[in-house]
Amino acid sequence: MGFDGLDILHRQMEGESNTYLQNLKRRALINGIDLCGLSIHQGFVTPDQDKRRRNIDHTIKCIELAYKLGIPCMRLNTGTWGTSQSFDELMAKRGIEKPLPGYTDENAYPWVIESIEKCLPTAEKCGVLLALENHWGLGRTPEGILRIVKAVDSPWLRVLLDTGNFLENPYDKLEMIAPHTVFVQAKTYYGGALWYTLDLDYPRIARILRKYRYQGYISLEFEGHEDYRTAIPQGLRLLRNAFRIQS
């Protein structure tokens, strides 16, 4: 299709054995593709210390997987409270979720910050930059993302900017996190979205990123109903035109 790299979703990997990982590297090299990102699912928004510990262990394991794959950047989330019955319900609520009874978001910030800090020694040892996505939970707002990144205050934690996760007034919010961004996931919705559709102005987003001298990867994240074989090439053309990237 003409892409330069691949941002792998951990949940879609067929295995974690060293043989599987090294064969992915071999195939990527043969096909001239950079393995540039690993996106994982984990969460630290819970008062249960054992759950946080399990998520820390999972994150550290995935950092080591990224290292074995030669991937230099890994996506993190803050996690959510888990009070929605499903992701569909969370999306119906526009990503806004009530905390567990007796808690507030203020309780959750120290849990997330401390958990990420425990992952940093492995990230530094492996040379895998952690990128906190503006996703749901505490990452639903730019203020939440920046509060965590600034509190951790490490060169091994920066921001993953997802163009489609600020559902209202996105451009000012994207600009707030753009100076700290090391990886971009750019959403498209051809054929109508799976959960919601945003009419994103990609030339405007490109101008915001250029303003802060962003030179990293733009990862196409397709969330529509159209057949991927036609939708993904459309998205690639859209992004190449917006960012003026020559094929």
User: Residue 220 sits in a domain of what CATH number?
Assistant: 3.20.20.150
Write the CB contacts of 185 (distance below 8 Å, at least 6 apart in sequence). 7, 39, 75, 133, 160, 161, 162, 163, 219, 221
- Model pLDDT, residue 244: 83
Terminal CA-to-CA distance of the chain, rounded, Å? 10
Instruction: Give yes or no for a contact between 129 and 180, defined as CB atoms under 8 angstroms apart.
Output: no
- What's the rounded Cα separation, in Å, for the pair 164 and 173? 11
Angle at 85 between CA 83 and CA 88, to 5 degrees: 115
Instruction: Give yes or no for a contact between 11 and 41, defined as CB atoms under 8 angstroms apart.
Output: yes
Q: Taking the model in full, what pTM does it have?
A: 0.94
- Model pLDDT, residue 247: 42
- Model pLDDT, residue 10: 98
With cut-offs at 50, 70 and 90, classify the pLDDT of residue 35.
Answer: very high
Q: What is the mean pLDDT of residues 34-38?
A: 98
Average pLDDT value over all residues in the chain:
95
Amino acid at 126: C
- Neighbour tally for 85: CB within 10 Å: 8
Three-state secondary structure call for residue 241: helix
Number of domains in the chain: 1
Domain that holds residue 37: 5-243
With cut-offs at 50, 70 and 90, classify the pLDDT of residue 197.
Answer: confident
Higher pLDDT: 144 or 91? It is: 144
- Model pLDDT, residue 44: 98
